[in-house]
């Protein structure tokens, strides 16, 4: 059973450029979450999907951020016109929700974004 | 909104010594997850607690949720260098319809000196 994978692991970009990250969840998991973690802090929730539906977005997710999960499998997180304040670790997690019971979230290795 | 405070923020222990990390919530917890994170990497699930007074152990790590469900502790017995890392507690929202998005504490950084 493969875990959650994320690509790329590291991304360095110049301010104003667009970047896209990919997350592949554990295959049978129907929920997928994105979090952001800055240095010395705990992760903060950004958004989550149940299958292909995006059910909630945090106020942290400005209109420069967009996430998709087109076929209910992998997900992408795009940041347009990056700013230095976007520099962070972007974490993806997946879980299986069945019968109203939500299981544990399993996290990927993260994508570390550095905006110069 | 719910806030989780972890203490201490960091600690250094001698290999073989015990250590305890605390996680205190501003509101009643409806579950509490403990994760471990190695520097620059993702989170590794350790344990999940749901019931007041619940205690779980795995290898040398024991986690407890108090009866009032507002505080949890993580205890490591006879620490080893492999226990070094950042320990994070995370709590789901009280409303099931809010999904299971987790609110995390700030983390406790553990260094084990050989």
Neighbours of A39 (CB within 10 A): 7
Q: Does B114 reach chain A within 8 Å, measured CB to CB? A: no
Q: What are the strands of the beta sheet with A65-68, ordered from one edge? A: A5-7, A19-24, A75-79, A65-68
Asked if residues A86 and A46 have their Cβ atoms less than 8 Å apart, the reply is no
Write the CA distances from B34 to A16, A90, B42, B92, integer angstroms.
37, 19, 13, 12
Contact residues on chain B for A42, CB-CB shorter than 8 A:
4, 88, 90, 104-107
Q: Please indicate whether, in this complex, the C-beta atoms of A56 and B99 are within 8 angstroms of each other.
A: yes
Asked if residues A79 and A99 have their Cβ atoms less than 8 Å apart, the reply is no
pLDDT digits (tens, 9 = 90+) for A56-114: 999 888 999 999 999 889 999 999 999 999 999 999 999 998 776 667 999 999 999 99
Which among B33, B40, B100 is the nearest to A112, CB-wise? B40
**How would you write the pLDDT of chain B (114 residues) with one tens digit per residue?**
778 999 999 999 999 999 999 999 988 888 899 999 998 899 999 999 988 899 999 999 999 999 888 999 999 999 999 999 999 999 988 766 567 889 999 999 999 999
- In eight-state DSSP terms, residue B60 is T
Q: Residue A67 contacts by C-beta under 8 Å, 6 or more apart in sequence? A: A34, A46, A47, A49, A54, A61, A75, A76, A77, A78
Asked if residues B101 and B93 have their Cβ atoms less than 8 Å apart, the reply is yes
Q: Please indicate whether, in this complex, the C-beta atoms of B106 and A45 are within 8 angstroms of each other.
A: no
Write the CA distances from A28 to A33, A98, A102, B52, B97, integer angstroms.
15, 11, 13, 31, 21
Contact residues on chain B for A110, CB-CB shorter than 8 A:
40-42
């Amino acid at each position: 059973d493969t875990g959650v994978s994320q690509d790329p692991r590291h991304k360095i970009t110049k301010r104003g450029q667009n970047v896209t990250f990919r997350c592949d969840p554990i295959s049978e998991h129907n929920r997928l979450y994105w979090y952001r973690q800055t240095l010395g802090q705990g992760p903060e929730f950004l958004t989550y999907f149940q299958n292909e539906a995006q059910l909630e977005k945090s106020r942290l997710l400005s209109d420069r951020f967009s996430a998709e999960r087109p076929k209910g499998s992998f997900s992408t997180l795009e940041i347009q016109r990056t700013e230095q304040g976007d520099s962070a670790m972007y974490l993806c997690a997946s879980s299986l929700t069945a019968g109203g019971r939500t299981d544990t979230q399993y996290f990927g290795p993260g994508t570390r974004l550095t905006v110069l | 909104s719910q806030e989780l405070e972890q203490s201490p923020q960091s600690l250094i222990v001698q290999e073989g010594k015990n250590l305890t990390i605390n996680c205190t919530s501003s509101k009643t917890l409806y579950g509490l997850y403990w994760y471990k994170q190695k520097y620059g990497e993702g989170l590794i699930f350790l344990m999940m607690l749901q019931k007041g007074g619940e205690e779980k152990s795995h290898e040398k790590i024991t986690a407890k949720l108090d009866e009032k469900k507002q505080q949890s502790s993580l205890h490591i017995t006879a620490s080893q260098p492999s226990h070094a890392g950042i320990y994070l507690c995370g709590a789901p929202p009280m409303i099931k319809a809010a999904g299971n998005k987790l609110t995390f504490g700030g983390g406790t950084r553990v260094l084990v000196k050989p």
